[in-house]
């Protein structure tokens, strides 16, 4: 179950990150700041939990699953044009 949570957190983190970059490109300061904060907060909480809670054998797998979630978040954020006026 914890691996699924790491995957979903990875998707959420990169989705937020991609939206952040879109707002940066549009020079929208407040949304950029909010999404930047959320992106870093998700990443730090996940990595803290991986390091704190998992044994060394599961930690690498958890990190790889988290990275796969990040890749999925990039796909979703690029596929859906949220935050753009085009």
List pLDDT tens digits, range 9-57.
999 998 888 888 888 998 999 999 999 999 999 989 988 888 887 777 7
68 pLDDT tier (thresholds 50, 70, 90): very high
Q: What is the pTM of this model?
A: 0.77
**Taking the C-alpha atoms of 63, 64, 66 and 68 in order, what is their torsion angle to the nearest 10 degrees?**
170
Gap between the terminal Cα atoms of the chain? 38
pLDDT higher than 80, residue 83: no
pLDDT in the model for residue 81: 67
- Give buried/exposed letters for 51-76 (b at 16+ CB in 10 A, else e): eeebeeeeeeebbebbeebbebbbee
Higher pLDDT, 38 or 83: 38
27-36 long-range contacts, CB within 8 A, separation 24+: 31/83
pLDDT in the model for residue 86: 53
């Amino acid at each position: 179950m914890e691996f699924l949570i790491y995957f979903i957190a990875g998707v959420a983190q990169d989705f937020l990150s991609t939206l952040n970059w879109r707002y940066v490109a549009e020079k929208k300061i407040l949304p950029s700041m909010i999404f930047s904060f959320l992106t870093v907060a998700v990443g730090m909480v996940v990595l803290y939990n991986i390091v704190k809670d998992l044994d060394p054998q599961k930690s690498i797998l958890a990190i790889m699953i988290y990275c796969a979630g990040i890749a999925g978040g990039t796909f979703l954020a690029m596929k859906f044009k949220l935050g753009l006026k085009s």
